[in-house]
Structure 1
């Protein structure tokens, strides 16, 4: 496939500027990685500071789980709306507005707000962060053709893991030494600093639909490729590939939501690790996830260069990974604790994140550029409902069954991962669905 979905609305940049474009592409990608690092540092605070927050604000496990789920109350809706909006408004300004809203939402908690404001702040933060991942991916992919998208997409996705790898030990130290409210102040300041840099550096690349004088479009549309004139969102969302990667990505996000909200408590209360050891294990699992993402990008790129279709190079690689994670969850619930527990945690929580990159690049492959933001945003809106369900479910299980509730939650997660991996392997075939959309 050539990545030439859209006829140019403005002239393509002169070839003499190509080296400058390549340099800017990686600079923008680096900034988007930092953007996602801040995004997930924001999310991780409640999990890292669960015990002092619950003690200071007098929250039960169910109430604390509800506070985590409150983040996702508007997250999914705004994720879909933001993706559709990104097909009409320049993503550059959407990203800037989002990160400033993140910082504003953290301020009340940093300054001493109580339990009611905790819920309100998380709802506001969720609304502002809902479109972050699909719009960041859309912006990064606008700088690269399809054959070159695996690495930048993986790096942007890995930004979520890098954020927690740094946040787990760093914010845990801030929480321990200066109190949990200081952690909210740290991430708020980080968001403002990122926004100042993005104002001067951030913009879209040559493979975006032209929305302004400095946003060059893709070359002329290739024969047999879907175009925005013939492909509506409904047709894209009805493809088996979109349905399959959305189901698989839902399973991944289920695990992400549990990792952010409850993994530190599970390690401490369910498996008996100390607070420091739990924070270090959280950082390790996210670091492994980052390596898995980059490894998947390399493997997928290698398979595509050797002529493998995306069905194998992307969907089945991701699907098999989810099945391995499901096996890891099952083993965690059955095996006694011991040195092997870390390996099982890595299998269960450390590698399933690769499906996020695979889902994004698969949707970008089948959707024309003018529909890409909406297709990604709607997928993200559906997928992130896992974040609304999983934290509160675990809270109820823990309140009802005590530490054994964590084991029930991990068993449920195994079933979700099994379904997601099966969907990826059996439903997803981008080449088939791209050809059908082109008719």
Structure 2
């Protein structure tokens, strides 16, 4: 790799109003939206094919939950490592390498692998996907000033939702008509196609512009306030802590939505498999709409001088609290229209916190430390993905259908804690002043 590809990622000061800059910014953002779509289509395969996989491989609910949890065995470690590496290596090459590894990791199951291959492939896939979200956010946000980051940040999260919205019915059809192994082949091909497009059109902001030198944000602000700022100080801010707790509760919901909600709807509530897949897609559709709504509301408030504590943290925190209430009632509800509404509210609205957490931390942290700060946050947050599937599988094995209800009730408690932390702790303006030299 040429020496220039190992240079520290520093931001220059282009004329952000130029047509070329805007075109590159939105091209990169669009590609990264698709990147996150492929990322979550990869994650959703096991949940959508849960019943035939458990039948063919002879897995109990606990065994299936543990197999899913192995995905997160190195996910958090690689998430932190990838975020830190993004402060030193061009994100373009990190993203390309990740996408290719995803496709390679899917192939053993597409080609007939058994339980050992499933576990090994999920471990490799988890390690390769760990840094995806923080590196993608770091790459996209570098093209925009703080006041304009809500939309691109939200769009990447919408890519998460779209990945599952499209994957749920699409992969369910593939599984029913061509077998569950074909679904692994389909997502592998999608990863290769994206990598080819990124190799041609993907780019880093630093490779596009010259300018006044390192140390400025796209809007000309001195975002590199302190290039020697330690990660210890960043991780000690109330904003980073509150964002991490709130985002953890959201990621817990994400893990359940990917792994156990299809089975919960089918086995726990008695919906047909196709209906269950449609409801899963509905959850993610609501999540995508909520994230775009949050971006619009937050951007509108910021443009009118409202602080991020209200415009970001409290908007996100309130959605977590509403989701907590929805899950609490859902845990006691029977099948019916009310259950569908509670499911969409409880599991759909809380996705807004992922955008709030990222943009709040990005506002506090200098650009040269952004990748590491986001990577470390995601490393903590994604431990929820390690715990939630295994714990839910244990509850289902030991308690039957009521195990699903107790898992949803536990989710309500975590969302309540996350919403409270977001509302009370996150204050980017305060913590930015405290980190200033």
TM class by smaller structure: over 0.9
d(CA) in 2 for partners of 1:213, 1:250 = 35
Distance in 2 (CA, whole Å) between partners of 1:381 and 1:16 is 32
Deviations 1:128-159 (A, max 9, x none): 00000000001110110001000000001110
Q: Offset of 1:215 from its aligned partner? A: 7.2
Q: Give me the whole-angstrom Cα distance separating, in 1, the residues matched to 2:210 and 2:258.
A: 36
Structure 2: runs of 5+ lacking an equivalent:
1-8
| 3-state SS of paired residue (1:351) | helix
Alignment of 1:40-439 (within 5 A): 40-205=40-205, 210=206, 220=216, 227-439=225-437
Change in 2 beyond 3 A, CA 1:51/1:145:
same
Cα displacement string for residues 340-374 of structure 1 (whole angstroms, at most 9, x for unaligned residues):
11110011101100000000001110000000000
- TM-score, scaled relative to structure 1: 0.94
CA distance 1:305–1:59, shift in 2 (3 Å): same
1:325-353 Cα distance to aligned partner (Å, 9 max, x none)? 11001101223332111110011101100
Contact 1:264 1:282 in 2 (8 A): yes
- SS of aligned partner of 1:84: helix
Aligned residues: 427
In 1, the alpha carbon distance for the partners of 2:96 and 2:256 equals: 28
Cα distance in 1, alignment partners of residues 88 and 260 from structure 2: 37
**SS of match in other structure, 2:422:** helix
Could you tell me how far apart the structure 2 residues matched to 1:45 and 1:402 are? 23
d(CA) in 1 for partners of 2:98, 2:229: 29
CA root-mean-square deviation:
1.9
Per-residue displacement from partner, 1:377-434 (whole Å, max 9, x unpaired)? 0000000000000000000000000111000100111110010000001111000000
For the residue of structure 1 that corresponds to 2:18, the secondary structure is helix
Identify the range of structure 1 (230-239 vs 32-41) with the bigger mean alpha-carbon deviation. Answer: 230-239
Q: Give the 3 Å change call, closer, same or farther, for CA 103–420 of structure 1 in structure 2.
A: same
Q: Is the 8 A contact 2:227 2:368 kept in 1?
A: no
Counterparts of 1:309 and 1:86, CA distance in 2? 29
C-alpha distance in structure 1 between counterparts of 2:136 and 2:85, whole Å: 13
Gaps of 5+ in 1: 1-7
CA contact 1:267–1:273 (8 Å) conserved in 2: yes
Q: Give yes or no for contact 1:204–1:215 (8 Å, CA) kept in 2.
A: no
